[in-house]
Amino acid sequence: MLQAWDGRQAGASHREIAEVLYGHRIVAEDWSAGFLRTRVQRLLRGADRLVHGGYLDILQGGSGLSGRRSAGQEPEWANSSATGLSGQEKGF
């Protein structure tokens, strides 16, 4: 994600970023379908959120990609009942 952001800051086009991330052959074959273009755009939006403060949310236990959550509010994936695993079993 941040590699895509670095590329954009260096002036690379979305296609050039995709070529670095996914390889020239894959981009040449799939670029016109739009999937990779959309993926690069999504990566850049996520990177913008991280660079412009989302990293602080990560440091405070959030995902860094969505809106801020209130203290004590756990994301669904962290709920042990959703996975059947406790926090220790997940490696947290």
Q: What pLDDT, in 10s, does the model give residues 57-80?
A: 777 776 665 554 444 444 444 444
pLDDT given at position 84: 46
Prediction pTM value: 0.61
pLDDT given at position 12: 95
Rg (the chain; Cα; Å): 17
Whose tokens are 């959120």? That residue is: 49
Please state the φ and ψ torsions of residue 50, each to the nearest 5 degrees.
Answer: -65, -45
pLDDT given at position 1: 85
Range 41-58 average pLDDT? 84
Write down the mean pLDDT value for the chain: 75
